[in-house]
């Protein structure tokens, strides 16, 4: 017997959300979605959520359970019971609830639309199909498994503070076309994705990988777009300059010089950007937080530099 503490919301009855508890005997083999259905069918028919295939294919039943997003049909109910014999269910994060556990996906789909999620070949359609080798397909294999469930979007830390960020799902979808051998707009795509709100605004927290129920793993796809952007010479932005400065310093000295990285990130000739750094630099100086001008050498520093040299070769 477990207690399901479910976050309820019905704007037609009251403006604020609230939690309601239900007692349910979780039988062996019941998924979380089975438990939700049992509550709806036997305890409260007004409980609202999305579901469809019940086979972890459609992505409809994504919810938050015990603070993290998941597919309700993919997880065993008994495995989610906490020590206090409760399971807390909430709507997905970073989206507005419509009713109970159902949320408004419009912002999610709007951001997917922004990355032009369709092939744009540079040649007219051939008489036969456009073929790919196994190696070419492997570049987009993982991202093609995304089922657009919104689990990664829900738990993305960057979206919590910046709604302008495209989000992990849209960027994973973008990688599927950036690295598709049949697409002819690679340069245009990475230029757009390198703008504010794109790939370089990812905070590298990896939460999207933890929550993704499929092999799509959005963070890894974002890193792949970054690599393509650098290879294509799309470096006139803070994110690319920061990555290049980071790599250059470690390669040359085996360590980071945090006095140099901020300056190289904004650009030596970016007067406004340099002036914007000044207040932060002064606060760090007066609080004794500035890194030393001459860094202390670390052990095995030559091995660190050797790794970079071998990668270059």
Q: Is 264 helix (H, G, I), strand (E, B) or coil?
A: helix
Instruction: Enumerate domains of the chain plus CATH numbers.
Output: 2-103 (3.10.20.30), 106-231 (1.10.1060.10), 238-312 (no CATH)
CA distances from 297 to 108, 258, 282, 305, 309 (A): 47, 15, 26, 13, 19
pLDDT tens track for 248-307: 888 887 777 777 888 888 887 777 878 888 888 788 878 887 777 777 777 788 888 888
**Whole-angstrom distance, CA of residue 202 vs CA of residue 221:** 11
Q: Residue 61 has what pLDDT?
A: 97
pLDDT digit string (tens) for 66-125? 999 999 999 999 999 999 999 999 999 999 999 999 999 999 999 999 999 999 998 888
128, 160, 166, 243 from 27: Cα distances, Å: 53, 36, 40, 51
Quote the pTM value.
0.89
Look at residue 107 in the predicted model and tell me its pLDDT: 96
pLDDT for the residue numbered 132: 92
- How far, in Å, CA of 64 to CA of 43, rounded? 21
Single out the residue of 52, 57, 59 nearest to residue 37, CA to CA: 52
Question: 94 near 49, Cβ under 8 Å?
Answer: no
- 248: number of Cβ within 10 Å: 14
Residue whose C-alpha is closest to residue 63's, from 42, 44, 49: 49
pLDDT tens by residue, 247-265 = 888 888 777 777 788 888 8
Write out pLDDT tens, residues 202-250: 999 999 999 999 999 999 999 999 999 999 999 999 999 999 998 888 8
Percent of the chain with pLDDT strictly greater than 90? 75
Q: How far is the C-alpha of 41 from the C-alpha of 246, rounded, in Å?
A: 56
Query: Hunting for tokens 């005997």 — which residue is that?
Result: 25
Measured from the Cβ of residue 217, the count of other Cβ atoms closer than 10 Å reads 21
**And the tokens for 93?**
């994060």
pLDDT of residue 263: 85
DSSP string, 114-130: HT--S---SSPPPSS--
Of 102, 29, 23, nearest in space to 62 by CA: 102
Cβ 235 vs Cβ 241: under 8 Å: yes
Coil, strand, or helix at residue 88?
strand
For residue 259, the model assigns a pLDDT of 79
Burial class (CB in 10 A: 0-12, 13-18, 19+), 125: exposed
Per-residue model confidence (pLDDT) at position 302: 83
Q: How confident is the model at residue 158 (pLDDT cuts 50, 70, 90)?
A: very high
| pLDDT of 266 | 87
């Amino acid at each position: 017997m477990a207690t399901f503490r479910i976050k309820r919301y019905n704007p037609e009855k009251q403006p604020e959300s609230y939690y309601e508890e239900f007692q349910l005997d979780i039988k062996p083999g019941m998924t979380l979605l089975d438990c939700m259905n049992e509550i709806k069918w036997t305890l409260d028919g007004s409980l609202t959520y999305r579901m469809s295939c019940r086979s972890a294919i459609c992505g409809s039943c994504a919810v938050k359970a015990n603070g993290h997003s998941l597919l309700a049909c993919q997880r065993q109910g008994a495995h989610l019971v906490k020590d206090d014999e409760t399971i807390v269910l909430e709507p997905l994060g970073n989206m507005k609830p419509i009713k109970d556990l159902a949320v408004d996906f419009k912002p999610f789909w709007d951001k997917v639309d922004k990355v032009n999620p369709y092939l744009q070949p540079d040649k007219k359609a051939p008489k036969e199909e456009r073929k790919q080798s196994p190696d070419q397909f492997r570049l987009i294999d993982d991202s093609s498994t995304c089922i657009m469930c919104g689990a990664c979007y829900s738990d993305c830390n960057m979206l919590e503070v910046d709604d302008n960020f495209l989000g992990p799902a849209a960027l994973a979808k973008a990688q599927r076309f950036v690295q598709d051998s049949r697409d002819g707009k690679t340069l245009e795509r990475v230029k757009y994705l390198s703008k504010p709100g794109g790939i370089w605004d990812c905070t590298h927290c990896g939460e999207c990988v933890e929550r993704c129920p499929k092999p799509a793993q959005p963070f890894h796809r974002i890193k792949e777009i970054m690599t393509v952007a650098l290879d294509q010479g799309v470096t006139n932005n803070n994110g690319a300059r920061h990555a290049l400065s980071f790599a250059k310093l470690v390669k040359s000295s085996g360590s980071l010089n945090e006095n140099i990285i901020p300056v190289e990130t904004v650009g030596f000739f970016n007067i406004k950007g340099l002036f914007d750094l000044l207040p932060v630099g002064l606060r760090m100086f007066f609080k004794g937080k500035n890194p030393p001008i001459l860094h202390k050498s670390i052990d095995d520093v030559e091995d660190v530099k050797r790794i970079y040299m071998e990668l270059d070769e």
